[in-house]
Amino acid sequence: MTNQSATTLRSRLVDQAASDLEENRRRQQELEERISVLRQEEALLTDILKLAERYEGFTDPSRLPEQLQGEPVVTKDRQAATGAAARRTDSARTALAGDSAKAGAKGKSRQPLLGDLLLELLGKHDGPRLAKELRDELLVKHPDRNPTPQVVRNTLESLVAKGRIQRHKQQRSVMYTLIEGSAS
């Protein structure tokens, strides 16, 4: 092996080692960021578990807090998305901070819950109503609210589960009526 080939080989090895070292540092940085996100998620989940434990002893499901209308829904698909965890954790903390700021602001009233609005609408009718009819009426009376048909159906089914309204099936249609004495 000549001096020139030894120098060339040494130069290539030094370049390769520098490249490997740079790649290693980049991966370490990525892992540190991922660990930070996981720690934030852990703290958020711990807070959620503590909150859930406070409500665990309740036998009356109507005493459980309902999901706020603007609150984001986290699905397993979204959890799997790369990088979504950091955005979700940050947005959840921002939403929690925003909710506490809203609650503490004087003169600003919270929007009524969708379930309460649907109960009010059902109370104005003697007969059973379709979820679509209730949603259409809600959009007219509360133009600031725009729940999807699925959200309305889910809320109505939640009220059925709580024993506040009754479900009636007529052929392929599902209709709802208010149970006497459960108007809010």
Is residue 130 a contact partner of residue 174, using CB atoms and an 8 Å limit? yes
Q: What is the pLDDT of residues 145-172, one digit of tens each?
A: 899 999 999 999 999 999 999 998 888 8
Provide the Cα torsion 156, 184, 65, 74; round to 10°: 30
Q: At residue 23, does pLDDT exceed 80?
A: yes
* pTM of the full structure: 0.42
Q: Which among 73, 72, 69 has a CA at the least distance from the CA of 142?
A: 69
Domain boundaries, given as residue ranges, for the chain:
3-104, 114-178
CA–CA gap between residue 28 and residue 75 (Å, rounded)? 29
Q: What is the pLDDT of residues 92-113, one digit of tens each?
A: 555 555 554 455 544 556 788 9
Is residue 40 a contact partner of residue 89, using CB atoms and an 8 Å limit? yes
Topology at the third CATH level for domain 114-178? Arc Repressor Mutant, subunit A (1.10.10)
